[in-house]
Structure 1
Amino acid sequence: MSKIQVNDIELDYEDYGKGKVLLLLHGLGSTKKDWDGQVPFFSEKYRVIALDLRGHGDSTKPLDAYGVELMTEDVKQLLDKLAIKKATFVGFSMGGAVAFEMAAKHPEYLDNLVIVNSGPDFNDMGKTGEELLKNRTEFLQTKGVEPLAKEIAFNMFPEAHQVAMRNQFEERCKKNDYNAYFKSFVTLMDWGLGDRIKDINTRTLVVASDMDYTPIAFKQAYVDTLQNASLVVIENSRHGVVIDQPEAFNVALEKFLENE
């Protein structure tokens, strides 16, 4: 693990391999450990960087400074300090929001964009988004981080053969700082690309799970809005596809990268 100073905070990151850069961005309430199923595979051919976004893992947990835009600027400064001019951004869930924002605001940094079970408008998800914001806020305020971690982990990995991955995910989620998690969550739910999505011309892969919280049709709709995007569906997978179906995900991503 290494630390680097950006925007008055420290980001914790890991850096493996050599070659074109893959930058891996984890989901809300998790850490760079989301990518344990990808780092060994891809670092044989690529330089793979996995980081803890602000408020998460071993990175700084500020009192008030949160939001997708701030996380995006953190990532930009990380690349600048590492003298990396271009990378393929791979963003899972909240990490997908950061990757989308980077593609909209700083497209010159992107070789490719990979969006994994995420979306371009967390602030415009209709009834689903409204219920998520209300229910999770109430749950967090009344029960706390540890019971929330248990519920999220079970929903992501409910099957009998997934007990080990469920327990591992719950363990890292329950270590979240309450304030950091809450502010990361509410600022994420306030973020959206809006019409800016139409200007993104970066070559894009969208990975969807057949049993994700949002349907495949939701992903197909924004794939159709993007200028240069394709959709891959991973079967027998829920939200955490990079964890519950790592081999299938790695094959899909490798095929996309090799067909540039």
Structure 2
Amino acid sequence: MDLKRARIGNIEVSYYDEGKGKPMILIHGFAGSKEYWDKIIPQLATENRVIAIDLPGHGKSGMSKDRYAIEDMAETIKELLDHLEVNKVTMFGHSLGGYITLAFAEAYPQYLNGFSLVHSTANPDSEEAKEARETNAKKIQEEGAESFIDGLSKKLFSPENTKVNAKEIDETVNIGLKTSEKGLVSALLAMKNRPDRNHVLKETNLPVLLIAGEQDQIIPPEKTFTVSTEKVKEKVIQNAGHMSMYEQPEELVKVMKDFLAEI
């Protein structure tokens, strides 16, 4: 896939733009990059225009300030879509990307045909989780990111998949280690400070797909499936943890394509 760059606001943003057809955009998770989607983009791009962005401070995208709120990252995505002259898109957000997707759906619903949370939640952090974000941010600032990324990688995949996905786990570690320390700290604090956005799921008139991993240790299904309306569809990916794009890519592609076909 061809790496593309664009000047968006005060930063250089790195992204993929593959295929032709109805546009969709993929938003990666914390300590990830657009490379998280490498296994599934070729299959999606046979029928769709697939855009995948590196969030500020992640992958090969820069930062123009020390702190980006979730809403700031949603605005960066909106500005990239404007740059690409894309006025309607279906958005899929993984984990942190899901938080950004909800912020985007709240602020810019006119840009969306529909949206999906992939191993994510509309809930805010608990007080315990907020404390952990602060602790981890401080640890990264004082000790660097290596031990933090190593520990995180062990929780991303289902315990049952650690052997079969050993190569993919190494890939996620390498992607995480490429993330700037400033980007990691900024994203941790953005996640800590994000609000409850269950009202977005309750009030939206857009089609919504909630995807959960059966064995997700980060965001279990019950934290993904927080709202039930006619507009909201739920799907559990079996034998997957937090990383179905690596653990069960064929199943994830099928679920995504089925959703795209319906909207």
Q: Taking structure 2 as the reference length, what is the TM-score of the superposition?
A: 0.91
1:153-186 Cα offsets, whole Å, 9 max, x none, are: 1222351111100111101101221122101211
Aligned CA distance change for structure 1 residues 74 and 227 (closer, same or farther; 3 Å) = farther
Please identify, of 12-21 and 124-133, the stretch whose mean Cα deviation from structure 2 is larger.
124-133
SS of match in other structure, 2:99: helix
For the Cα contact (< 8 Å) 1:201–1:228, is it kept in 2?
Answer: yes
Aligned CA distance change for structure 1 residues 193 and 201 (closer, same or farther; 3 Å) = farther
**Cα offset, 1:125, TM superposition:** 3.3
Match in the other structure for 1:140: 140
1:47-94 Cα offsets, whole Å, 9 max, x none, are: 001110111111113342411111111111111111111000010011
Match in the other structure for 2:182: 179
Aligned CA distance change for structure 1 residues 250 and 171 (closer, same or farther; 3 Å) = same
For the Cα contact (< 8 Å) 1:63–1:180, is it kept in 2?
Answer: no
Residue type of the partner of 1:69?
Answer: E
1:17-40 Cα offsets, whole Å, 9 max, x none, are: 111001010011110001012210
SS of match in other structure, 2:15: strand
Residue type of the partner of 2:31?
Answer: G
SS of match in other structure, 2:165: helix
Please identify, of 3-12 and 163-172, the stretch whose mean Cα deviation from structure 2 is larger.
3-12
Check if 1:192 corresponds to 2:192.
Answer: no
For the Cα contact (< 8 Å) 1:101–1:193, is it kept in 2?
Answer: no
**Cα offset, 1:194, TM superposition:** 3.9
1:63-74 matched pairs, under 5 angstroms: 63-74=65-76
Aligned CA distance change for structure 1 residues 186 and 161 (closer, same or farther; 3 Å) = same
Match in the other structure for 1:206: 210
Q: Taking structure 1 as the reference length, what is the TM-score of the superposition?
A: 0.92
Residue type of the partner of 1:188?
Answer: M
Match in the other structure for 1:218: 223
Two-structure CA RMSD over aligned residues (Å): 1.8
1:1-150 matched pairs, under 5 angstroms: 1-121=3-123, 124-126=124-126, 129-130=129-130, 132-137=132-137, 139-141=139-141, 143-150=143-150
Match in the other structure for 1:154: 154
1: CA distance between counterparts of 2:7 and 2:259? 32
Residue type of the partner of 2:153?
Answer: A
For the Cα contact (< 8 Å) 1:199–1:227, is it kept in 2?
Answer: no
Please identify, of 137-146 and 26-35, the stretch whose mean Cα deviation from structure 2 is larger.
137-146
**Cα offset, 1:139, TM superposition:** 4.2
Find runs of 4+ consecutive structure 1 residues off by over 6 angstroms: none
2: CA distance between counterparts of 1:195 and 1:28? 20
**Cα offset, 1:138, TM superposition:** 5.2
Aligned CA distance change for structure 1 residues 131 and 238 (closer, same or farther; 3 Å) = farther
For the Cα contact (< 8 Å) 2:58–2:178, is it kept in 1?
Answer: no
1: CA distance between counterparts of 2:74 and 2:107? 9
Match in the other structure for 2:251: 248
2: CA distance between counterparts of 1:195 and 1:113? 14
Q: Give ranges in structure 2 of 5+ residues lacking alignment.
A: none
For the Cα contact (< 8 Å) 1:20–1:47, is it kept in 2?
Answer: yes
Matched residue count: 256
Q: Give ranges in structure 1 of 5+ residues lacking alignment.
A: none
Please identify, of 15-24 and 147-156, the stretch whose mean Cα deviation from structure 2 is larger.
147-156
Please identify, of 47-56 and 60-69, the stretch whose mean Cα deviation from structure 2 is larger.
60-69
